[in-house]
Chain A
Amino acid sequence: MTFIATERANRLGLSSLDSVVAFVKALPGVDAVGLEARAANLATRSIKNSSKMAALDTIIRLIDLTTLEGADTAGKVRSLVAKAATPDASHPDTPRVAAVCVYPDMVEHAVAALGSRQGDGVTGISVASVATAFPSGRSTLDIKIADTRYAVEKGANEIDMVIDRGAALSGDWETVYSEIRAIREACDRGDGTHAHLKVILETGELATYDAIKRASWLAILAGADFIKTSTGKVQPAATLPTTVLMLEVVRDWFLLTGEKIGVKPAGGIRQSKDAIRYLVAVVETVGEDWLHPHLFRFGASSLLNDVLLQRQKMLTGHYSGPDYVTVD
């Protein structure tokens, strides 16, 4: 395996693949009980009504509205885009979401449907594509690179790649690193810019907090713009302790280098109440700066409807129901 050095690895004086792997292997272990207690404590924070509306709007602005089904069609992607741009037609002041997240062959449909509304998550709605033989990642590197390049060529602003969990679990961190690095290069557009890379660790398969911590560091060193918990296809998907751990890695990296990396919990966050807990965890771990579409996202599909129902309740004073939001 050829080692492709990164600026980030150089910063830590890691000049070879071996030294990178030795670095992540030497990371101190995670205090699992402490981490879970910390997350549970953050989850008890009470959010008053006056802050709740702001929290709900923030959640919407941070959502990657996702459809990753075998049954996806161009039509489904178009309706997803419509919902992303106008989440609640009965309340047109509702903010739009950060991005839509689709399979690579659906990127062109999302780009076409968005038109001039496409942007980077702040300037407009971003198009994120999963790639690298999502969700299992069980294919050859060539195919994963081709998958990535295809999505980038079709206009994806962001690539959500999966790591090789088999390699990570068998201790082959070299492969994990090299693959992330290769995909990161495949994200280059050739004009000096690159599609932002989110690295999915699939924490539900990594089994231990120590492995999640190692994978987070490795992804950052290899060039990730975001680290993402899960594909949403494996249980458990995103959990609060896992997300807090990844936020802590991001915080440590920021303290070390001043560089801000994004975090994306994905899968299993269906209720506003849960999402608000994640916001609390972000603010308490890395600070309010991270509540920005460039630094934090929710990978979700049904979450948006629940947020809209809560938002309608705040606005109308009575409970709303699923008849008042679009079915996806």
Chain B
Amino acid sequence: MSHMSIPKTYKLFIGGKFPRSESGRVYDVHGPKGVFLANVAQASRKDARDAVVAARSAQSGWAGATAYNRGQVLYRIAEMLDGRTEQFVAEIRSVTGASDKVARAEVHAAVDMWVWYAGWADKYAQIAGNANPVSGPFFNLSVPEPTGVVVSVASQDTAYSLIGLVSAIAPAIVTGNTVVVIANEAAPLAALSFAEVVSTSDVPGGVINILTGSAAEIMPWLASHADVNALDLAAASGLSTVEWEKAAADTLTRIVRPRAAFTSLSVDRIDALVETKTIWHTKSLA
């Protein structure tokens, strides 16, 4: 008997669950020759609000986990992602029409990127923190702290549907931030399958939240949201971000402006989403 293919329903990923959009809306995703691929949930501002609530409630627990534990969880994501290589290659190819070689290279680069950032989890404080010399019998320590809830826009270039997503998530969560990410609108399939990887990788619900839909529609609400601590627009170079940045400034939200090399492996990406806490502590006289 021939096997009948089962088209997958692509839903949002909020708080560790896969809900449909509150609005009930979906949009079509097409392949390179206009062939219909899937209906994908089109997130509304209320979905975005729910995602921020989920990210906020997960944040203290995630930041409170040991750096070692966070690193283990991130490695686990890389393992699960690697194990699903064929699925991601197929999804990337179906949307962009890329060759097997190109698609496979993107998946491998995405796995490598996870491993690279996972390694920083228990090493980052060593390079970003410091024991400051002070004139008195005190320890004076500067330590990096996560900024909090980060809203990140993944690259909207269909050539970066997976690696663009990874580069929007990994640098934020490695230090204990939680993230709400807007996936690639035209090529969202890899992002939604990535959500399945996350949900099977010991990541607490709410640490990573993935929305599909129009960044232009959702971002004004997320940018102005008073409970969002940072806006990562590193990969948003093709979008008009100025109004978002203005809205974010009204609630003192940290902004990472669009930059060219957003997929490069760089500690700068982690630096942009931490704050430095400085602590004074008396030296023991014993």
Q: A and B: partners?
A: yes
Number of interface residues of B (CB under 8 A): 12
A322–B56 CB distance below 8 A:
yes
A321–B49 CB distance below 8 A:
no
B225–A319 CB distance below 8 A:
yes
B56–A321 CB distance below 8 A:
yes
Nearest Cβ in chain A — how far from B147, in angstroms?
A: 14
Nearest Cβ in chain B — how far from A302, in angstroms?
A: 13
The CA of A224 and the CA of B52, in the complex, are separated in Å by 43
A318–B227 CB distance below 8 A:
no
The CA of A270 and the CA of B251, in the complex, are separated in Å by 26
The CA of A48 and the CA of B99, in the complex, are separated in Å by 50
Chain B binding site: helix, strand, loop or mixed by DSSP? Answer: helix
A322–B227 CB distance below 8 A:
yes
Cβ of A324: which chain B residues have Cβ within 8 Å of it?
A: 226
- Looking at B221, B224, B226, the one whose CB has the most chain A CB atoms below 10 A away is B226
Cβ of B52: which chain A residues have Cβ within 8 Å of it?
A: 319, 321
With beta carbons under 8 angstroms apart, the residue of B221, B226, B247, B250 that contacts A320 is B226
A297-320 near B? 1/0 per residue, CB < 8 Å: 000000000000000000001111
Cβ of B56: which chain A residues have Cβ within 8 Å of it?
A: 321-322
- Looking at A317, A321, A324, the one whose CB has the most chain B CB atoms below 10 A away is A321
With beta carbons under 8 angstroms apart, the residue of B221, B226, B247, B250 that contacts A321 is B226
The CA of A320 and the CA of B49, in the complex, are separated in Å by 10
Cβ of B226: which chain A residues have Cβ within 8 Å of it?
A: 318-321, 323-324
- Looking at B52, B228, B251, the one whose CB has the most chain A CB atoms below 10 A away is B251
B227–A320 CB distance below 8 A:
yes
Cβ of B225: which chain A residues have Cβ within 8 Å of it?
A: 318-319, 321
Nearest Cβ in chain A — how far from B246, in angstroms?
A: 12
The CA of A319 and the CA of B49, in the complex, are separated in Å by 8
Cβ of A317: which chain B residues have Cβ within 8 Å of it?
A: 224
Q: Return the chain B residue nearest A320 by Cβ.
A: B226
Interface residues of B (CB under 8 A from A): 49, 52, 56, 221, 224-228, 247, 250-251
- Chain A to chain B contacts (Cβ below 8 Å), 26 pairs: A317-B224, A318-B221, A318-B224, A318-B225, A318-B226, A318-B247, A318-B250, A318-B251, A319-B49, A319-B52, A319-B221, A319-B224, A319-B225, A319-B226, A319-B227, A320-B226, A320-B227, A321-B52, A321-B56, A321-B225, A321-B227, A321-B228, A322-B56, A323-B226, A323-B227, A324-B226
